[in-house]
Structure 1
Amino acid sequence: MATADSQSAIRDPDARLMLMVRDGNTGAFEQLVDKYRSRLVGVLYQLVGNADEAEDLAQDVFLRVYRARDNYQPTAKFSTWLFTIANNLALNALRSRRRKPTSQPPATESGGMGGLEQMVGVSSGAMPSRIFAKGEMAEIIRLAISRLSEEQRMAVMLNKYEGMNYRQIAEVMNKSEMAIKSLLSRARYALKEILEPYLANGQAPGP
């Protein structure tokens, strides 16, 4: 008998596409790659801090998804499964070689940082005496995120970029929902502290 989670997953259009991939439909796999590639790269960049490495890791994620197609079972949303693989690969990469950001983050379909601005209570209205250059706040928030711990960065990206709830993030990161709530709360506090000098005097966060 199908569980509530598996029934919910089957209603997920991406899970249905993956079932088509399991049945040999390569076009369905291409649709998934097209939908998630730039989103994966954006999240992975925030974790590993290197655009080329993020691209390589995203390719590895899709390779693993394709290799696992024959045994795929829709027990969770496809995006949850996909980002679980991405999280594990990124953490392995960070354990083997520590890198700091060396290039600008690539554009992602997840788009602007509006959700993150709301998360930390920051907007252009916070500094009425300054005229914000286009994209300035987005870049400042990206720099601030790079100062968070690896786990905090992943939780923030999944919550604000991918719109995942506590339960879904807990599944991806193999933690309890309470641990994710605490992680996001600490991340929110840390971001406010990191951004305070910028809001006060325009001093950008360091790398």
Structure 2
Amino acid sequence: MAISQSTAARYTAQDPDVRLMLRVQQDDAEAFEELMLRYQDRVVSLMTHLVGKRDLAEDLAQDIFMRVYRSRKRYVPGAKFSTWLYTIANNVASNSRRGLARRREVNLVAQDSGEFTGNPLDQAALEASGLMPTRQLDKAELSQVVQMAVAALNDRQRMAVLLNKFEHMSYEEIAEVMELTPAAVKSLLSRARGNLRQVLEPYLEQGTKIDTPRESE
């Protein structure tokens, strides 16, 4: 899609990260390093929640930033830099999941490794579900139940929740990242909220864990 000069000028004026990326376009190594410092931890965290393996997530994050650098000469600011970056991340995650599926490594969330314990994912999942604890909870146990709840989401629902709750993206921004309409994103988040509630509500209210199959696309 062609990007007008007025749109490019607007995002350049509004987003300091766009201005950094335009410096990267001119082969400014310090600007690229600054963008990596700003986003690397966030990208690794996002990819970890999407593919479930920290070492794989770090490799994918490196691939994402390499794609950013290789694309620098073609870059035109048609959105916030973060929206453009997470569009690349979504494509990389999708390609990785297809590769894992082909190798029958289909378990895409952490199980009992404790990798996500204490992670902001716990709070994000609770906020997305609309539920809050009404009793004292063991943090490790809550984290395990949250992992189960997030595992019940399909890949697109998980991505939408992470972008909405971790990156505070609007429906319109998530739609651009995921190549959907804002209405489709709203529907995805609504279904995700219902699926999270199904798993979390019995535990938060009664301490009862339930097993739930992962929802299909």
TM-score interval, normalised by the smaller of the two chains: 0.7 to 0.9
Instruction: Show the counterpart of 1:63.
Output: 66
Instruction: Show the counterpart of 1:178.
Output: 183
Please give the alpha-carbon distance, in whole angstroms, between the structure 2 residues aligned to 1:189 and 1:18: 38
Q: Tell me which of 192, 195, 207 is aligned to 2:197.
A: 192
TM-score scaled to structure 2, two decimals? 0.83
Query: Would the aligned equivalents of 1:46 and 1:146 in 2 still touch at CA under 8 Å?
Result: no
Secondary structure class of the residue paired with 1:143: helix
Count of residue pairs the alignment pairs up = 201
Please give the alpha-carbon distance, in whole angstroms, between the structure 2 residues aligned to 1:75 and 1:175: 17
Q: Tell me which of 67, 75, 78 is aligned to 2:81.
A: 78
Instruction: Show the counterpart of 1:94.
Output: 97
Report percent identity of matched pairs: 43
Shift of 1:48: 1.2
Please give the alpha-carbon distance, in whole angstroms, between the structure 1 residues aligned to 2:131 and 2:41: 26
**Which structure has more RCO (C-alpha within 8 Å, separation ≥ 6)?**
1
Unaligned runs of at least 5 residues, structure 2: none
Please give the alpha-carbon distance, in whole angstroms, between the structure 2 residues aligned to 1:17 and 1:107: 34
Q: Tell me which of 121, 126, 140 is aligned to 2:130.
A: 121
Please give the alpha-carbon distance, in whole angstroms, between the structure 2 residues aligned to 1:107 and 1:59: 24
Amino acid at match of 1:59: Q
Please give the alpha-carbon distance, in whole angstroms, between the structure 1 residues aligned to 2:94 and 2:121: 25
Map 1:15-54 onto structure 2 (within 5 A). Answer: 15-54=18-57
RMSD over aligned Cα atoms: 2.4
Moved beyond 6 Å, runs of 4+: none
Amino acid at match of 1:9: Y
Aligned: 1:149 with 2:154:
yes
Does 33-42 or 112-121 show the bigger shift? 112-121
Shift of 1:140: 3.2
Give CA deviations for 1:44-74 in whole Å, capped at 9, x if unaligned: 1111121111111111000000111112111
Query: Would the aligned equivalents of 1:42 and 1:107 in 2 still touch at CA under 8 Å?
Result: no
Please give the alpha-carbon distance, in whole angstroms, between the structure 2 residues aligned to 1:138 and 1:111: 10
TM-score scaled to structure 1, two decimals? 0.86
Unaligned runs of at least 5 residues, structure 1: none
Change (3 A) 1:83 1:66: same
Give CA deviations for 1:24-57 in whole Å, capped at 9, x if unaligned: 2111111111111111111111111211111111
Please give the alpha-carbon distance, in whole angstroms, between the structure 2 residues aligned to 1:9 and 1:139: 40
Change (3 A) 1:112 1:173: closer
